[in-house]
Amino acid sequence: MGDRIVRVDRTGALPADGGAVIDLGRSACLLPGLIDTHVHLAFDAGPDPVTSLVSASDGDLLVHMRAAARSALLAGITTVRDLGDPGYLSLALVEEMVGHPEHGPEILAAGPPLATPGGHCHFFGGEVEGAEALRAAVREHHARGCAVIKIMAGGGHMTPGSVAPHASQYGLQDLRVVVDEAHRLGLPVAAHAHGIQAIRDAVEAGVDSLEHVSFLSADGAASDPDLIDTIVRKGTFVILTLGPRPWPRSSVLSWIPTAA
């Protein structure tokens, strides 16, 4: 219908007489829309995306985010989870796409990720600590229309002055507070976790997805079979960041330059 596919016949039957037939040829393949489960539409692809982000106005960031969303759609990606932006800007795009789905993919927005004061990704504006403040933050994200709660369970590479990627930022009790409140409101929780302890606490708290899952420690990266079994047993989704093993210890802070 127009420029949209409204139905796909899976029976293998020939089209009805008089029906329109589009021959894609032997070199084409028709696929369902792809899904990217971890994006940051507000980041650019330059060497210092954090500086670019914090120095840009909301208007400039929205222009960039629109272009990034359009690029994703043209690449065949029809749904993205945006797991961190400043000022809930991704929600503005969500509203824009309602009337113009041809401009970009469906966006499942997290808004500013929950981060410890001065911790990894605090620059998005989601700094929060303490049980009551965490509950209030989850409720605000829900009220604004976010589709998922993102929490920075552990450190990362891209935030100067914050804890090392393998270190935890939130403990088990704080993670449980966030998961319980989010689930009460019908929202899933995605936890950023490179470090082994952060992964372990996030799984125990009942998060719905683990982001990165690098099994980092102060001495490097090594998978934990028992923890992997626990992840599988609990049915937690894993969104991997793949890269070379960080070894020796001196490379822990620089093993994936673009990993959030």
Q: Which domain holds residue 71?
A: 32-109
Residues 89 and 178 reside in one and the same domain: no
Across residues 3-18, what is the average pLDDT? 68
Identify the pLDDT of residue 241: 82
Across residues 171-190, what is the average pLDDT? 98
161 or 192, higher pLDDT: 192
CATH code: domain of residue 81: 3.30.110.90
**Whole-angstrom Cα distance, residue 135 to residue 179?**
9
Q: Which of 94, 109, 124 is the last residue of a domain?
A: 109
Rounded to two decimals, the pTM is 0.85
The answer to whether residue 22 is domain-embedded is: no
CATH code: domain of residue 175: 3.20.20.140
Total domains, the chain: 2
Across residues 83-97, what is the average pLDDT? 96
Residues 188 and 258 reside in one and the same domain: yes
Whether residue 210 contacts residue 193, with contact meaning beta carbons closer than 8 Å, is answered with yes
Q: Band of the pLDDT at 122, cuts 50, 70, 90?
A: very high
pLDDT tens per residue, range 22-78: 777 788 877 889 999 999 999 999 999 999 999 999 999 999 999 999 999 999 999
The answer to whether residue 44 is domain-embedded is: yes
**Whole-angstrom Cα distance, residue 5 to residue 79?**
17
Q: Which of 84, 109, 134 is the last residue of a domain?
A: 109
Residues 254 and 134 reside in one and the same domain: yes
Residues 182 and 120 reside in one and the same domain: yes
Across residues 184-190, what is the average pLDDT? 98
Residues 57 and 118 reside in one and the same domain: no
Q: Using DSSP, how many helices (H) and how many strands (E) does the chain show? A: 7, 8
Identify the pLDDT of residue 120: 97
Identify the pLDDT of residue 3: 60
The answer to whether residue 17 is domain-embedded is: no
The answer to whether residue 184 is domain-embedded is: yes
Residues 103 and 174 reside in one and the same domain: no
The answer to whether residue 168 is domain-embedded is: yes
Q: Which of 75, 109, 143 is the last residue of a domain?
A: 109
Residues 75 and 151 reside in one and the same domain: no
146 or 20, higher pLDDT: 146
Residues 182 and 74 reside in one and the same domain: no
Residues 166 and 132 reside in one and the same domain: yes
Residues 123 and 198 reside in one and the same domain: yes
Residues 166 and 228 reside in one and the same domain: yes
Identify the pLDDT of residue 83: 98
pLDDT tens per residue, range 132-177: 999 999 999 999 999 999 999 999 989 988 999 999 999 999 999 9
Point out which residues pair with 239 in neighbouring strands. Answer: 211
Residues 75 and 149 reside in one and the same domain: no
pLDDT of 1 higher than 80? no
Which tokens hold the place of 46?
A: 């330059």
Neighbours of 142 (CB within 10 A): 18
pLDDT of 209 higher than 50? yes
Across residues 12-22, what is the average pLDDT? 73
96 or 10, higher pLDDT: 96
Residue with token string 């799984």: 203
